[in-house]
Amino acid sequence: MHDIIRDLNWRYATKKYDSSKKIKKNDLEIIKESLRLVPSSYGLQPLKFIIVNSTELREKLKPISYNQSQITDASHLIIICSYININTSHVDDYLSSILRTRDIAINEIEAFGNSMKTTIDKMKNEEKYKWNKNQAYIALGQLIHTCASLRIDATPMEGFNAKEYDKLLNLSDQNLSASLVVPIGYRHKEDKVQFAKKVRKSQDDLFITL
């Protein structure tokens, strides 16, 4: 079996974390760098990642996360936030970043910039957030894979009260909304779910070849 498949079979949505085990600095840096490298539509990266270390804050997040124990017990808690709005100034910042990074002239990316601006201008506000929220799920997919390769557990969560998160963390004022919550750390030896067989559809069910 290839390592990738072994890693992905090893992982599961951990229910109970061993709160005594902490992710090492070096591994956390790999996870952060992986999140930084996540691709996004046009490369705009309309995301922020909040890492919550504060015990006090995690205790406050727990009741607005259906009291799931992973919120407080996992080694680290990552909140993937998406931009609520995105506009031409974000595109301009991005274009400046491209110019700074690559030694090219503005006219080489002008058409690309205009195409992004036209796309964004046409979108309604709710479409913009929906689009930005989609990008959060790409980050989630990459994060899960990275964690599994590092043999770090992760529990992807859609089940939390996003409005209460936004209020508690003052996110709306920063043009952000909490899209996904991902406790990461190490499974507790008493978490029975780790021993349950993974349930997945068969390849025959999932794939169509044309």
The contact set with a second copy (CB under 8 A) reads 2, 4-5, 8-9, 11, 13, 30, 32-39, 41, 43, 45, 47-54, 57, 94, 97-98, 101-102, 130, 133-146, 149-150, 156, 158, 169, 196-203, 206-210
Is the Cβ of residue 34 or residue 69 nearer to a second copy in the bound state? 34
Q: Which is nearer to a second copy, 120 or 143 (CB)?
A: 143
Q: Looking up tokens 């727990």, which residue turns up?
A: 62
| Contact (Cβ atoms closer than 8 angstroms) between residue 142 and residue 38 | yes
Nearer to a second copy, 90 or 188 (CB): 90
Minimum separation from the CB atom of position 100 to a second copy (A): 9
**184 CB-side CA count, 13 A:** 28
Joined together, the tokens standing for residue 91 give: 């595109």
- Among the residues of 64-195, which ranges form H helices? 70-73, 88-101, 110-122, 125-149, 162-168
Q: How many Å apart are CA 112 and CA 197, to the nearest integer? A: 47
Of the pair 122, 201, the CB lying nearest a second copy is at 201
Give the relative orientation of helices 25-36 and 125-149 as an angle to the nearest 10 degrees: 140
Q: What's the min distance (Å) between Cβ of 158 and a second copy?
A: 6
Report the nearest approach of a second copy to the CB of residue 53 (Å): 6
At 187, list the tokens.
Answer: 């499974």
Instruction: Give least dist CB 48 to a second copy, A.
Output: 6
Least distance to a second copy from the beta carbon of 49, Å? 5
